[in-house]
Amino acid sequence: MSVESKSFVEELPPKSDLSEWYVRLILRAEIADYFEPVGGMMVIRPYGYTMWEHMVRLLDERFKATGHTNAYFPLFVPESLLKKEAEHVEGFAPEVAWVTEAGGEKLQERLAIRPTSESVVGMMYSKWVQSWRDLPVLINLWNSVVRWEKRTRFFLRTTEFLWQEGHTAHRDEADALAEVLRILDIYADFVETDLAIPVIKGVKSAAEKFAGADTTYTIEALMPDGLALQSGTSHHLGQNFARAFNITFQDLDGERKHVWTTSWGLSTRTVGAMIMVHGDDSGLILPPHVAPYQVVILPVRDEPPVRAFVEEVRAALPPTVRATVDWSDKRLGWKRSEWELKGVPLRLEVGAREVAARRVDMVRRDDPQRQRQSVPCGELAEAIPSTLETIQRDLLARARAAMEANTRLADSYEQLKQTIETRRGFVLAGWCGDPACEAAIKAETGATVRCIPLGDLGNVPGRCVYDGKPSSRRAVFARAY
Amino acid sequence: MSVESKSFVEELPPKSDLSEWYVRLILRAEIADYFEPVGGMMVIRPYGYTMWEHMVRLLDERFKATGHTNAYFPLFVPESLLKKEAEHVEGFAPEVAWVTEAGGEKLQERLAIRPTSESVVGMMYSKWVQSWRDLPVLINLWNSVVRWEKRTRFFLRTTEFLWQEGHTAHRDEADALAEVLRILDIYADFVETDLAIPVIKGVKSAAEKFAGADTTYTIEALMPDGLALQSGTSHHLGQNFARAFNITFQDLDGERKHVWTTSWGLSTRTVGAMIMVHGDDSGLILPPHVAPYQVVILPVRDEPPVRAFVEEVRAALPPTVRATVDWSDKRLGWKRSEWELKGVPLRLEVGAREVAARRVDMVRRDDPQRQRQSVPCGELAEAIPSTLETIQRDLLARARAAMEANTRLADSYEQLKQTIETRRGFVLAGWCGDPACEAAIKAETGATVRCIPLGDLGNVPGRCVYDGKPSSRRAVFARAY
């Protein structure tokens, strides 16, 4: 919408002022807007929602390729149902929004707007699952949930957010655990491959796990201000919900058994992560896989030969490339700034000289120097997709280098404390597993156990950084969003 | 899920018992289930939700091809905002579910769960639209809405339903009206081409229009019991919401003007229409364009040569064909009934004889005789897609013939009354446009003005069937869901 009168460059603070930069960028690039009448709610505008649509598509393909199907479950969770799993309700009740009147009458029972759907899903699965033949049940839901938060921030923490929540039921624990880890791998692959954000995969501590889970697995990303962002979680629910909702099946041996369930979710929060991780002082830098437009063509003048050549250029691009042309009557310099702000990965400029030479000037958004590369029209069909893939890989490599540079070892508590206070970032340190040590570290430094990393990163025995007791694995500590 | 112990054929009533057939079919084919704790709510199970996913895709492609983009607006509408357009709130307030408590506290203002989003959209558009350059705004939302209904029925009327709601803003009335009609055409094309349901396009009477609209356009379908089903509506909102929410822009002439807005919606109700219109005594008959599986392959025996040949058959199908193989250990007859109940358009049977001849037996679900056609493996790549398209067209032709056979003229009120009472269906009759005649006809026959049809169907001058006054166009009367 019209903003020519405003100067983007002037109004966007430098990225070093991260929180202000983040909010102003989201507003100016028309990614989202405040919904002022209700605190903590936002409107996701077309430019932001289109990113989410690409994310949905890329994640949904992975879910379907691994045998999951989608369904829709009701928005309302009656209070009695929410209360069935004790730890679950304790975790969520303080954040619930309640419907108490409907159709002109007071309701007999309050209805929670779903903060998550384990309860309604559990109730239905207890009806649907009868035999070992019915297992596994592999269902995913794309919906929105409401959690009444006091402190909110675009995408990272909002009263209502969009997400997917998977809910599966299995015959035995091994099958459930395999599912939990399969989804964790899908999340990590999606966030790294498509959002170009490196993550650490790991297990949550008991204090940080999902309310009602036996174990929560997580992917943790690092933001440019050194704060961690939990970016997706996959929960091994054991038989907790199966018992609470009486989800049982007749096994091959004739016995009636409780199923094992999992749940897992990834939300619009990752849109926020993507903005923070890649952007710069000029605005957004979008990974090509999820950019609403991957290419913007800027004609230097609106003249017939330029029009004709731009049409040729468009036609030369493979149909899978998402391209747009800016024919508006704004000044070229303004258009450049605007499309940089919008983070379009590749800009193609076409002037009289380019038309004559049948070439375009190609500029990568992620190149701080904005070097121009002159590409013959005949080479675009190859050059554009391959450059987009290069940008995608380079963004991940750059983000990975930043994460690695901000991941530090701490051999002593003093070192952990000092690192967290002066540099933030991820700190790897031994932890004995005692919740008391974890709580003390949190109280004294503000850092929580983000996870105990899977694989080599965590698999290092040593001593607890807090009480010196033996620790079999290392934990990642960080302050977090 | 396991149901082998149950006999579908026995349990499904004949389609002539339409309401019972409809509910039992939806439950048995696992399309949806009751959500018992909250009256009028349902769970859309994977088989039903996959149909909706195809519908979403096919409709969304049409919206995007005509310049619309998607966005997300909040679930909550504060009471004061809902009240801004007087007619709108009067229409929706009785059906609203209200959130009154959240985060452990009583709210200062009640929040409606959106019954539709004109109010929240209007508020944001008043902020976003400033200049003629910002117009048109062409935004669509895919979400769910809540309307507290007393009498509910799977898909046709539920307390919560899924839909899309489009909201556009325009510079002048002509542009807004063009949008309203463009969308009406998209709806009609989608419902006829993809759901194979013929519709009548028309204008609603003042009594039947959307609360807050100047004019409502509709597509009306006819169900097998002779009741009409409103299947999609496109509203010309005039400047009503622009005034209520102060959505203004500076025009080229420098003047500040109110925009013209439209809104339009199509919901999961059409899933119900599709089930009713096409199904038969054996269960569902799904139009290929939206069938979760278009082809089911039934191996007669699970033997290595059959396995190998079935793999060849699968590989011979184009990747766009959605096919599945039923390798379960159930009896062949049971499998046939199950997949007929599920409405899969084409069944391919493969036994030892077919393997030897390198052919498959193809059976069309929509063929009452279930004739077998023997197709050589080498011809499948052509035969399957073309047969699917034939089925799609035949379903529409059959449904159109049924609608035409149940569309009758009435020259007198007696004739209208008798037709509605004995045969139901659509009745075309002159109507002077007086709401008093409309109300009297409704009170005496239960039939409402479904619409005044566009084009030749409505464009017949005559006399009002009720009071004999001149009528410039004919109306369609029917009892309706």
Q: How far apart are CA B425 and CA B405, in angstroms?
A: 9
- Single-letter residue type at A253: D
Chain B contact for A39, CB < 8 A? no
| pLDDT in the model for residue B86 | 85
Q: What is the mean pLDDT of residues A89-95?
A: 89
Residue B233 pLDDT exceeds 80: yes
Q: pLDDT tens digit string along A63-80?
A: 999 999 999 999 999 999
Q: If pLDDT is split at 50, 70 and 90, which confidence band does B374 have?
A: very high
| pLDDT in the model for residue A39 | 87
| pLDDT in the model for residue A1 | 41
User: Which class in CATH covers the domain with range B407-478?
Assistant: alpha beta
Give the up-direction half-sphere exposure of residue A387: CA atoms within 13 A in the CB hemisphere: 23
Q: pLDDT tens digit string along B284-305?
A: 999 999 999 999 999 999 999 9
Q: pLDDT tens digit string along B40-68?
A: 999 999 999 999 999 999 999 999 999 99
CATH 3.30.930.10 domain position(s) in chain A: 13-278
Residues 409-428 in B contacting A (C-alpha not used; CB under 8 Å): none
Which residues make Cβ contacts (< 8 Å) with residue B352, sequence separation at least 6?
B300, B301, B303, B305, B306
CATH 3.30.110.30 domain position(s) in chain A: 407-478
Q: How far apart are CA A346 and CA A368, in angstroms?
A: 13
Q: What is the mean pLDDT of residues B225-237?
A: 98
According to CATH, the topology of domain B10-278 is: BirA Bifunctional Protein; domain 2 (3.30.930)
Q: Which of A101, A120, A160 sits opposite B98 (nearest CB)?
A: A101
Name the closest residue on chain A to residue B146, using Cα atoms: A75
Q: What is the mean pLDDT of residues A398-427?
A: 97
| pLDDT in the model for residue A85 | 87
Q: How far is CA B125 from CA A154, B73, B211, B343, in A?
A: 19, 12, 20, 44
Q: pLDDT tens digit string along B107-134?
A: 999 999 999 999 999 999 999 999 999 9
| pLDDT in the model for residue B89 | 87
Q: Which of A1, A75, A96 sits opposite B146 (nearest CB)?
A: A75
| pLDDT in the model for residue B1 | 41
Task: Say if residue A305 is preceded by a cis peptide, omega within 30 of 0.
Answer: no
Q: How far is A272 from chain B (nearest CA, A)?
A: 16
ipTM over 0.85: yes
Q: What is the mean pLDDT of residues B182-197?
A: 98
Residues 105-134 in A contacting B (C-alpha not used; CB under 8 Å): 110-111, 113, 120, 123-124, 127-131, 133-134
Q: How far is A94 from chain B (nearest CA, A)?
A: 5
Chain B contact for A99, CB < 8 A? yes
CATH 3.30.930.10 domain position(s) in chain B: 10-278
Q: How far apart are CA A247 and CA A439, in angstroms?
A: 35
Question: The domain A295-387: what is its CATH number?
Answer: 3.40.50.800
Q: How far apart are CA B313 and CA B361, in angstroms?
A: 12
Closest CA to B20 of B236, B210, B279: B279
pTM comes to 0.96
- Mean pLDDT for chain B? 96
Taking an 8 Å cut-off on Cβ atoms, the answer to whether A71 and B144 are in contact is no
| pLDDT in the model for residue B10 | 58
Q: pLDDT tens digit string along A114-155?
A: 999 999 999 999 999 999 999 999 999 999 999 998 888 999
Name the closest residue on chain A to residue B133, using Cα atoms: A2
Q: If pLDDT is split at 50, 70 and 90, which confidence band does B150 have?
A: confident
Chain B contact for A162, CB < 8 A? yes
What superfamily would CATH give domain A13-278?
A: Bira Bifunctional Protein; Domain 2 (3.30.930.10)
Q: pLDDT tens digit string along A437-466?
A: 999 999 999 999 999 999 999 999 999 999
CATH 3.40.50.800 domain position(s) in chain B: 295-387
Q: How far apart are CA A317 and CA B1, in angstroms?
A: 46
Contacts of B162 in chain A (CB under 8 A): 72
Name the closest residue on chain A to residue B137, using Cα atoms: A1
Q: Which of A49, A74, A160 sits opposite B43 (nearest CB)?
A: A74
Chain B contact for A215, CB < 8 A? no
